[in-house]
Amino acid sequence: MGGGGGGGGSFDSANKLYVGNLSWGVDNSTLENLFSEQGKVLDAKVIYDRDSGRSRGFGFVTYGSADEVNNAISNLDGVDLDGRQIRVTVAESKPREQRRF
């Protein structure tokens, strides 16, 4: 049954931002608070290391529209958050590659 093919997520990755150079103290709610000034945040997530539990220094924010994404990039890229200049860009939706061993 069923062929190959990609699964469609509930979030449109076109409206997803990559946020880099985060300080260790930044968590999901810090991210959401900052980005909610630019539009309605659907999802804000800091990526944590599975083993250590520490922030990996980046995260993702999802908006409902491209306008909000563009606002956030132009207004927040390079902004000082918790002592670090954050990087804000459109998240790349890369196809998952097969790992070779």
Q: How far is CA 57 from CA 19, 39, 52, in A?
A: 9, 23, 13
Q: Are 12 and 70 in contact (CB under 8 A)?
A: no
Using alpha carbons, select from 57, 72, 56, 58 the residue that is nearest to residue 15.
72
- Domains in the chain, start-ordered, CATH in brackets? 24-86 (3.30.70.330)
Q: What is the pLDDT of residue 97?
A: 62
Reading the chain (101 residues) residue by residue, the pLDDT tens digits are 444 333 344 444 679 999 999 999 999 999 999 999 999 999 999 999 999 999 999 999 999 999 999 999 999 999 999 999 999 999 986 666 656 65
Q: What is the pLDDT of residue 6?
A: 39
